[in-house]
Amino acid sequence: METVFRLESPRVIAGVARIVRDIGIAEEIVQDALVAALERWPRDGVPDNPGAWLMATARHRAVDLVRRRENYARKLAEIGRDLQAAVPPEEPADPGDIDDDLLRLVFTACHPVLSDQARIALTLRLLGGLTTAEIARAFLTPEPTIAQRIVRAKRTLAAKNVAFEVPYGPDREARLGSVLDVIYLIFNEGYAATAGDDWLRPGLCEDALRLARLLAGLMPKEPEVHGLAALLEFQASRAPARTGPDGAPVLLKDQNRRRWSRLLIARGITALGRADAASTKFSTSPGEVLPGAPGPYVLQAAIAACHAHAYSYEETDWAAIVTLYGLLAARSPSPVVELNRAVAVSMAEGPGPALELVDALAAEPALRDYHLLPSVRGDLLARLGRTAQARAEFERAAALTRNERERQLLLARAQECAR
């Protein structure tokens, strides 16, 4: 039940929202459909198509609710005469119909009436099926803060009567940044789960990748859209090699690159080519960014392409990656970007210079509880032969992570240092 609901709830919420024109009400109706499933499925058996069952049940409840309750008189006046005609079929003939609803859901949740953080949190909750705790971890933000953002965002959308639609023209461009961030964060949660017993959550990766491809088709002249699509294609290509037979994480340097998907890498190269064709290059002056220069997702895709082109970890063009991270830091400053740049510096110039960069980040408030900071520091210390300090850093990182697989990996590295 938990698996089915996590996989199907975003599509069902999107389909119901098209009827009731209210995201908060749609989520409540879908919760009611889940309760009905909990009551009936143990008695009658799980349907052959659980998603279609949930969609049909939620849709029928939505129609009844719109008709019955006086609170929805305004919505009934808008769609009452052709309500039945507006209802999608039991079994959509074209899966793109569902995807269009998901895209509407993303753009609606990213409406300018909401703050950037509220837009991303709401869409992660509705579309990604993430819990409040998972979103808080992704944001490096306290859980009560995220919960308040989500509740307020739903109320604001309802109060402002925000239309459930994909916008056009300048309005679409104004929301695009948040939409891209949402898709990226959903993919990241699937690529490296923040909590739980599984390192990967493939369903989230697939949803994010599908949305990125849809968005690229919708906005073919926008380089950042193609950049995001390329980045996700490259990252998804590594998924088969990122875990061992027992589900344990496999670090990038230890992965069998013959298991990387050449098809997804080829798709990533194509998408990156489209992004490059629509981008203006960087100035030759260090740190200077020209208008229309490659954006953060195009640069991250270029970094991922360096990994995809290398036949081994050691053969990676680390100097190029360091340069690209420098450009990314100029375009989109972030302590996480600097931490990633330090990792690349460690491979291009050695662990000593990289450790200086990492130590300079220790005071960053956003990284205070970020487990990858002590993890990276532990790796650098181990390579410098300072194994006792490295062990302490790996143990600290293990205490900070909420993913059980990652915790086991970090503790194993701490034990290696002890030996």
Quick one: pLDDT at residue 139? 65
Residue 173 or residue 348, greater confidence:
348
Query: Can you tell me the distance from the alpha carbon of 178 to that of 116, in angstroms, rounded to the nearest whole number?
Result: 6
Quick one: pLDDT at residue 277? 87
Quick one: pLDDT at residue 289? 45
Residue 225 or residue 287, greater confidence:
225
The pairing of strands 195-196 and 402-403 is parallel
Read off the pLDDT of residues 235-264 as tens digits, 9 standing for 90 and up: 999 999 999 998 889 999 999 999 999 999
Question: Whole-prediction pTM value?
Answer: 0.74
The band of 109, judged by pLDDT with boundaries at 50, 70 and 90, is confident
Read off the pLDDT of residues 271-291 as tens digits, 9 standing for 90 and up: 999 998 887 554 444 444 445
Averaged pLDDT for residues 49-67: 87
Q: What are the φ and ψ backbone dihedral angles of 199, each rounded to 5 degrees? A: -75, -35
Instruction: Note the Cα 128 to chain centre separation in Å.
Output: 8
Query: Can you tell me the distance from the alpha carbon of 269 to that of 266, in angstroms, rounded to the nearest whole number?
Result: 5
- The amino acid present at 126, given as its one-letter code, is L
Share of the chain above pLDDT 90, in %: 48
Instruction: Return mean pLDDT, the chain.
Output: 85
Read off the pLDDT of residues 2-11 as tens digits, 9 standing for 90 and up: 778 777 888 8
Read off the pLDDT of residues 373-401 as tens digits, 9 standing for 90 and up: 999 999 999 999 999 999 999 999 999 99
Q: Select the highest-mean-pLDDT range: 49-53, 187-191, 264-268.
A: 264-268
Is the confidence at residue 92, as pLDDT, over 60?
A: no
Residue 119 or residue 148, greater confidence:
148
Please say whether the beta carbons of 364 and 377 come within 8 A: no
Q: Select the highest-mean-pLDDT range: 64-68, 139-143, 303-307.
A: 303-307
Residue 195 or residue 389, greater confidence:
389
The helix (run of H) or strand (run of E) holding residue 179 is helix 170-191
Give 10: exposed, middle or buried? Use CB within 10 Å, 0-12, 13-18, 19+: buried
Q: What are the φ and ψ backbone dihedral angles of 244, each rounded to 5 degrees? A: -85, -175
Q: Specify the range with the lowest mean pLDDT, choosing from 77-81, 118-122, 349-353, 386-390.
A: 77-81
The band of 94, judged by pLDDT with boundaries at 50, 70 and 90, is very low
Q: Specify the range with the lowest mean pLDDT, choosing from 198-207, 282-291, 358-367.
A: 282-291
The band of 138, judged by pLDDT with boundaries at 50, 70 and 90, is low
| DSSP SS3 for 243 | strand
Residue 212 or residue 204, greater confidence:
212
Query: Can you tell me the distance from the alpha carbon of 46 to that of 44, in angstroms, rounded to the nearest whole number?
Result: 7
